[in-house]
Amino acid sequence: MKFTLGWLKEHLDTDADIDAIGEALTRIGLEVERIENPGEKLADFRVAKVLNAQPHPDADKLQVLSVDAGGDPLQVVCGAPNARAGMIGVFGPPGAYVPGPAFELKIAQIRGVTSHGMMCSVRELELGDAHEGIIELGEAAEGAIGVPYSDYAGLTDPVIDVAITPNRQDCMGVRGIARDLAAAGLGTLKPLTEVYAKAGGTEPVETTGDGPDIRIEDSEGCPAFYAQSVSGVGNCESPSWMKRRLAAIGQRPISALVDITNFVMNDLGRPLHVYDMAKLDGGLVARKAKPGEQVLALNEKTYALDDSMTVIADGAQVHGIGGIMGGEDSGVSDMTSDVLIECAYFDPDRIARTGQRLNIPSDARQRFERGVDPAFLEEGLAIATRLVTTLCGGTASGITRAGEPPVEKRSVAFRPDMVRTLGGIDIDTETQRAILDRLGFEIDAENTKSLVPTWRRDVTGPADLVEEVIRIHGIDQVPSTPLPRPAGVAQPTATWEQKLERKLRRAAATRGFHEAITWSFIGESEAAIFGGSNWTLANPISEDMKVMRPSLLPGLLTAAQRNLAHSEDSVRLFELGRRYIGDSEHPTLTLVMAGDAAPRSWQSGKSRGFDGYDAKAAALALLEAAGAPVSNLLVMGEAGDAWHPGRSATLRLGPKNVLATFGMLHPRVLKAVDLDVPVAAVEIFLDAIPEKRSQGFLRPAYAPAQLQAVTRDFAFLVDADLPGDALIRAVRGADKKAIVDARLFDVFTGPGVDEGKKSLAVEVTLQPGEKSFTDEELKAIGDKIVASAEKQGATLRG
């Protein structure tokens, strides 16, 4: 849910600044995801006037402009077809960063003519899609020459993005959020009549004649259907205040009739729909769809319908999927003169099932499936009709009211003492009453019952009232109270699995990874990439969360993509959670690495991306932290279809027990989540790690070696396709008592090495026991190493 600070203050009388409001929103349970000021990126751009325009001497499609941006005239080369003397537009000086094409303006030579900046289009400033010409501000901007464009256009209003939980349907509009803030003491909620005073008010308009022809045949899916028509409208451009607010939250202004419905939906949480009456065949009916019916929706997609779905139709065809999306065939246009305004109440469960089946994630569906206020049909229709007549003219008909909305108020027990017993905090009864009153609840005189407002479908019992009181009073006010603990030394209760998970979390964090927690359910298409899922939810939140995840990678890749999109250069994430495969769940530690593994430096001149070796190093380090016998692990292939062939592998304890998968992910997987950089990843399967035998609570005494270790280097010629890991294992096994380590430190092909061969150089560390090695003993160990390597087809290089 997005809105601007200025928009919020239309409903909330407050002096609080953006920081105080952001902090208060999160404190009362409306988590702020981000606060952005769209004017900051346009701070360098100025309102400017073209003094004169001359043809470019060496290019037919370019002009040389003299531009007044509030100082001395500047020479600018421009290729826009609408550039001309006298026009007022937006100028970017040298040094300004143009967000659309993403480059910094510099003084440049264009076909031999110096250009000091540029005149900008809407697309170049990321204010819309238009790019046929530069912005024209009109004569009204004559007095603003040299003024920052963001100030002139009112783009300095901060945009607040709030994550609304599914139970808070009342906060799917700016007014609901303002009500919560007022209850938290950040101001006073303004009356709707004051809020809509400049838009004509909220009272019903004068009407002429009967209301439009509407009826209900599916009262279960659509209990109430109100409508009013307006004839003789002119579908003009919306006023600037409405366009600015819609554009600020990411909605493209289209026309006054369309923008009014979008504005009321976001402002008051009340979805509406407007039909062009000239495109209707008779009256409208809310009915069940017939099997085989189709509708061309406003998103230009055709949907097949069935009789479980509620639709709005006329005598000829379906014109809308009730509560989700209208139809293209009856949509309004610039030629529309007569409209029908629909304000209906649709059953939330029916909307949710229909939306999931058709996979349409519309703004209207978000609100209807959570449950809009059933008591706001009359007032919502009156506000929409008055906006239409005020902005577009026309004459309104009477109102037709089909059906009855479920407006009966529910009563729940009010028990002030439960705030202490459930919430652990003492709040006097009068303070509780005051909080609930500001939220719209009605408490009886005996303090025993509360009437729940119609916009709070989520409140069903006394515990819900406790939650409301505590979140508004402040969850941070709840004291931290330790649980009672008996005297004496507590016995350890953590299981081996719990200790392992704690150890791995610390180890991953120590290596620079940030922990993420993602959804356990994903879409079927995402699951298919990782082998599919046998666990399907009976009532999923959406089609994108329909099955239980067979891998933790989809959620982590989405998180990595989001971080990279917000200009993070290097992303290192891990999650310890459950995979759901077959008929059981499996604890898994998953890591993803994307972006820069190392930043630019004076040595390389450029950054280095993550590769499969980074993934292998992380996998081995974490397995070692988990207590796995790392020295005994085999590196083998068959990582799976989601992994890059040839750049991924598995770590196994024996040929069948896979402890981890590591390497680079397949480009097909990255494309599916819109990632355009290589990604290294690791999956460690905790249930495959063997549990150590208990050795009591004491650690073995630290006993460092008494004698200095000896290192010897060996260079072997092997087949080019022999894995280095196979040679290392053979060398280590030559003398398990004396050899404590062996590592590959050089690979060479070229002069002196036969075709199809390669040279592998191995450093072997030998640790003497009670006495130092003699020359004869070292030679004997070296002979064992060479003999063991020869079993892998290796020969000692001369």
Q: How many CA atoms lie within 13 A of 395 on its CB side?
A: 5
Spatial distance between the Cα atoms of 325 and 328, rounded to a whole number of angstroms = 10
DSSP letter at 167?
A: T
CA pseudo-torsion sign 138, 142, 143, 148: positive
What type of residue is 702? Y
Spatial distance between the Cα atoms of 125 and 150, rounded to a whole number of angstroms = 11
Q: Any binding-site annotation on 203?
A: no
What type of residue is 102? A
Beta pairing class for 570-581 and 514-515: parallel
Provide the greatest CA pair distance for the chain: 115
* Token couple for 612: 């499969």
* Token couple for 533: 């899922």
Query: Pick from 504, 538, 558: which is nearest to 684 by CA?
Result: 504
Q: For the chain, report the end-to-end CA distance as a whole number of angstroms.
A: 72
CA 254 to chain centre: 26
Q: Any binding-site annotation on 467?
A: yes
Spatial distance between the Cα atoms of 364 and 273, rounded to a whole number of angstroms = 10
Q: Any binding-site annotation on 468?
A: yes
Spatial distance between the Cα atoms of 571 and 567, rounded to a whole number of angstroms = 10
Residues ≥6 apart with Cβ < 8 Å to 437: 443
From residue 118, give the alpha-carbon distance in Å to each of 92, 93, 205, 612: 5, 7, 48, 45
Spatial distance between the Cα atoms of 370 and 352, rounded to a whole number of angstroms = 8
Alpha helices for 595-723 (secondary structure H): 612-625, 667-672
Q: Which residues pair with 160 in a beta bridge?
A: 3, 35
Spatial distance between the Cα atoms of 323 and 348, rounded to a whole number of angstroms = 9
What's the alpha-carbon Rg for the chain, to the nearest Å?
A: 35
Spatial distance between the Cα atoms of 332 and 278, rounded to a whole number of angstroms = 10
**How would you write 26-68 as a 3-class SS string?**
HHCCCEEEEEECCCHHHCCCEEEEEEEEEECCCCCCCEEEEEE
Beta pairing class for 214-216 and 284-288: parallel
* φ, ψ at 732 (rounded to 5°): -65, -35
* Token couple for 554: 């989809």
Spatial distance between the Cα atoms of 532 and 549, rounded to a whole number of angstroms = 8
Residues ≥6 apart with Cβ < 8 Å to 444: 414, 450
What type of residue is 622? L
Helix (H) or strand (E) holding 630: none
Spatial distance between the Cα atoms of 770 and 706, rounded to a whole number of angstroms = 8
Q: Residues 719, 697: contact at Cβ < 8 Å?
A: no
From residue 281, give the alpha-carbon distance in Å to each of 10, 277, 389, 402, 477: 40, 8, 24, 19, 61
Dump the DSSP string for 193-229: HHHTGGGT-SSPPPB-SPPP-EEES-TTT-SEEEEEE
What type of residue is 796? L
Q: Any binding-site annotation on 783?
A: no
Residues ≥6 apart with Cβ < 8 Å to 700: none
Spatial distance between the Cα atoms of 156 and 330, rounded to a whole number of angstroms = 37
Dump the DSSP string for 678-695: -EEEEEEEGGGSPPPPP-
Binding-site residue set: 458, 464, 467-468
Binding-site residue set for Mg(2+): 458, 464, 467-468
